[in-house]
Homo-oligomer: A and B are copies of this chain.
Amino acid sequence: MKLAELAVRFGCELRGDPDIDVIAVAPLASAGAGAISFLANPRYRSQLLQTRAAAVIVDAAGAEDCPVPALVTQHPHACFARVAALLHPEPVAAPGCHPSAVVAADAVVDPSAHIGPQCVIGAGARIGERAVIGPACIIEPGAELGADVQLVARVTVCRGVSLGARCVVQPGAVLGADGFGYAPEHGRWVKVPQLGSVRIGADVEIGANTTIDRGAMGDTVIGEGVKLDNQIQIGHNVVIGAHTAMAACVGVSGSTKIGQRCQIGGAVGIVGHLTICDDVVVTGFTMVSSSIATPGVYSSGLPASGAAEWRRIVGRLRRIDAMANRLRAVERRLGGPGTTDDDL
């Protein structure tokens, strides 16, 4: 593809030879002839200066430094993503049901959809136009998948769960398993039927082995454009606002509401029944145990130290109460300031 065609298609300003051919994407450092790369993070500027890419996608600042032809845009990474998708298209899945798939007589599968080998499509399930259901997926009765949904492989969609258009789900994800609901009685647990479902908006992407539980009463709701990485656990009746992104291994307990455009780092845990407002960023390994009403960045992760030093720190921390009391005693001996326990 000519560089000029890419510039037109993606609305970029072109600097340099419009007739250059690009056939693939590659990282700045290793790109060679025919490869197009991008610069989104200024700390890779030195790689830009030495790149041998055929062309680079940059913003206006990067364009100043670019030694090769450039596509200039405000959002180089997003533009690069689109160029990459164009130059490296996914293999096309043929319409129709593989003969090894088990499709219920009253399931409604659009003729343009692809149903892979070993799939199970339950009674009353609906599969939208051009949907691609990879091998060994299970769509339980009454589930609804919108147009252009892509289940890569081995996805479990439990009964009645709905996915909006263009959702992409990676292998091993389980959408709509029972929530964890038990009532105590005489030292035992009585299962509370989980009668709600899961509603997933358009353009949601869900990672490998991620689990989203169905609601107890009422539904678990994932807003449009949400991106969930691998091995995330979403409890029953959680609500996640549009365009929120979560890194891997996050756990969200039941009935918590998370706002729009939040960014949740890896391995974060969020307690149940909280409300997190829009535009909150939580850094990795943080425990969120109370609601957050103000946009901003929140943390409680502790960075690694050498083990001996860490043991000393933990020992001191366990005695921090005594330390505070002794500091107050010292202050009193010095005649003030009078302090209350709450100040320290």
Binding site for B on A (CB under 8 A): 25-27, 30, 40, 75, 77-78, 80-82, 84-85, 88, 91, 98, 100, 102, 116-118, 120, 122, 135-136, 138, 140-141, 152-154, 156, 158-159, 168, 170-172, 174, 177-178, 180-193, 195, 205, 207-209, 211, 213, 217-218, 225, 227, 229-231, 233, 235, 243, 245, 247-249, 251, 253, 261, 266-267, 269, 271, 281-290, 292, 296-308, 310-314, 316-324, 326-327, 330-331, 333-334, 339, 343-344
A191, B205: Cβ atoms under 8 Å?
yes
User: How far is it, in angstroms, between the C-alpha of A177 and the C-alpha of B136 when the chains are bound?
Assistant: 15
Which single member of B40, B180, B192, B207 contacts A207 (CB below 8 Å)? B180
Query: Are the C-beta atoms of A334 and B331 separated by less than 8 Å?
Result: no
Assembly stoichiometry (copies): 3
Q: A31 CB to closest chain B CB, in angstroms?
A: 9
Q: Which residues of B contact A138 (CB under 8 A)?
A: 135-136, 153-154, 171
State whether A303 touches B290 (Cβ < 8 A). Answer: yes
CA A37 – CA B313 in complex, angstroms? Answer: 41
B326 and A331 contact, CB distance less than 8 A: yes
Asked whether A177 lies within 8 Å of B184 as measured between CB atoms, the reply is: no
Q: Hey, which chain B residues are within 8 Å of A191, CB to CB?
A: 81, 85, 168, 205
Contact assessment for B302 and A306 in the assembled complex, using a CB-CB cutoff below 8 Å = no
A/B interface sample: 8 pairs, CB < 8 A: A81-B190, A88-B193, A168-B191, A189-B245, A231-B231, A317-B317, A319-B343, A327-B327
Q: A247-B180, A317-B313, A344-B319 are in contact. Are A81 and B192 (CB under 8 A)?
A: yes
Q: How far is the CA of A218 from the CA of B301 in the complex (A)?
A: 31
B323 touches A327 (CB 8 A): yes
